[in-house]
Amino acid sequence: MWSTAREIAAGDTVILWLTRELVQSLVVTPGKDFQSKYGHYRHSDFVGIPYGSKIGSRTGKGFIHILRPTPELWTMALPHRTQILYIADISFIISYLDIRRGSRVIEAGTGSGSFSHSVARSIGPSGRLWSYEFHEARAKKAKEEFAQHGMSDIVTLTHQNVCKDGFNLTDAADSVFLDLPAPWDAVEHAKQALRKDRTTRICCFSPCMEQVLRTVSALNDAGFSDITMYETLVRPHDVNQVPALQSITEVAEKLKKAEGVREIKRLRQIAAGQKSHENPHGEKRKWSQEVGDQGELPVAEAEDSGSGKRLKTDDEMDDGTPSQNADVSRSLDEPATQTVRAGASIPAPPAKISVSKAIPEVRGHTSYLTFATLLPPMPPALPESTLPQGPETT
């Protein structure tokens, strides 16, 4: 398929990784330029450097990574002509259909070729993929792509409507994959194309349950067995570093301290009130003297009298009580306030943990994967009248 050399050569198809969301393919053509938001590059700069290199833009601003194509990267980079298959479905189908080196596989329709590339990789040069596409322009485009990617020896692409005209194959394939709006119309053709000297398999890919039900009865009528259905998805996770969670013991300590401070203030207020009652004119001078002695700030006093019920936050505690027990309160408050203020990107040495959760919005459904098996026919000597029975589970 694609180049397996260590270094990039002129004419290679390469993958340009700009960002996770921006992955493109490109045929290295010296003389041409590549322009993007992430800088300016000459194709000739790519020639001779190893696959996997990071390349800085000629302007000195921006860079890209240049990668060796794989079917998975191709799925990210390919030009969409249709809805395409993604890794969860592709990989599951390849396993279930037992696709491996030398397998002979049928695929209809070709679509954008996402599945085709993966199959071609798995079966290798000794395998065979017959791919059918009923849309002429799409068939033509796919054929060009397969040739460009060195897959012409592996893939035979036919522009044909398989529901009407079948596969033109008899007893040839190990497995069939149908991604068609009405797969039930192709089931009998598929049966003809599958080889009868061994166990073969079929997969029908349909987004709707109604399609599944029709497909299941068509498969059953055609003599397929082990009919089963799966749904598979990938759940991407976001990983973040967060501060180790605070124990409530610390919170309780702070609240208790605040409680004590509040009580002292209350008592002081009462005392001050009594004094001012006894000596209304000497109040002001005396009070400020007391503040100086005790180290209390009027701010805290004003706040306290304003909304005495409200629980104070860490910050207010810091601002409000910087006096005798300042050292204690600092040491208690420091880690908490620091971690609250520090963004996740600043590496703070104390206690950070890595956590992950599924990203908020994910792909919730692609298609139902209906599988069935076609067994070699029974030896003729056996009576076909035996009751159909088997340990299939319900």
Q: How far is the CB of 210 from other proteins (least distance, A)?
A: 11
Q: How far is the CB of 68 from other proteins (least distance, A)?
A: 4
Angle, vertex CA 74, rays to CA 22 and CA 98, nearest 5 = 140
Q: Based on CB atoms, which residue is closest to other proteins, 140 or 237?
A: 237
Q: How far is the CB of 36 from other proteins (least distance, A)?
A: 10
Count interface residues toward other proteins (CB under 8 A): 98
The phi, psi pair for 269, rounded to 5°, reads -60, -45
Q: Based on CB atoms, which residue is closest to other proteins, 161 or 199?
A: 199
Query: Per-residue x/- mask for other proteins, residues 203 to 242, rule CB under 8 A?
Result: ------x--xx--xx--x--x-xxxxxxxxxxxxx-x-x-
Instruction: Determine if 118 is a binding residue for other proteins (CB under 8 A).
Output: yes
Q: What is the DSSP string of 60-121?
A: SS-EEEEE---HHHHHHHSPPSS----HHHHHHHHHHTT--TT-EEEEE--TTSHHHHHHHH
H or E element at residue 42: strand 39-42
Q: Which distant-in-sequence residues (6+ apart) come within 8 Å of 52 by Cβ?
A: 65, 66, 67, 68
Q: Give 333-339's long-range contacts (Cβ < 8 A, gap of 24+).
A: 333/254, 336/246, 336/250, 339/243
Are 185 and 214 a contacting pair, CB within 8 Å? Answer: no
Q: Based on CB atoms, which residue is closest to other proteins, 209 or 271?
A: 209
Map residue 17 onto helix, strand or coil: strand
For other proteins, which residue of 11, 30, 79, 124 counts as binding (CB under 8 A)? 124
Which of positions 322-381 make contact with other proteins (CB under 8 A)? 354-356, 358, 368, 370, 373, 375-376, 378-379
For other proteins, which residue of 108, 112, 121, 300 counts as binding (CB under 8 A)? 121
Which of positions 32-91 make contact with other proteins (CB under 8 A)? 37-39, 45, 49-57, 60-63, 65, 67-68, 70-72, 87-88, 90-91
Are 51 and 6 a contacting pair, CB within 8 Å? Answer: yes
For other proteins, which residue of 32, 40, 164, 198 counts as binding (CB under 8 A)? 198
Are 232 and 86 a contacting pair, CB within 8 Å? Answer: no
Which of positions 10-29 make contact with other proteins (CB under 8 A)? 17-20
How many CB atoms are located within 10 Å of the residue 269 CB? 14
Q: Based on CB atoms, which residue is closest to other proteins, 61 or 164?
A: 61
Which of positions 240-259 make contact with other proteins (CB under 8 A)? 241
Stretch that binds other proteins, among 31-39, 269-277, 294-302, 318-326 (CB under 8 A): 31-39
Which of positions 143-182 make contact with other proteins (CB under 8 A)? 172
Q: How far is the CB of 155 from other proteins (least distance, A)?
A: 12
Q: Based on CB atoms, which residue is closest to other proteins, 70 or 276?
A: 70
Could you tell me which residues are annotated as the binding site?
133, 179
Map residue 335 onto helix, strand or coil: helix
Could you tell me which residues are annotated as the binding site for S-adenosyl-L-methionine?
133, 179
Q: How far is the CB of 237 from other proteins (least distance, A)?
A: 4
Q: Tokens for 379, please give them.
A: 């030896």
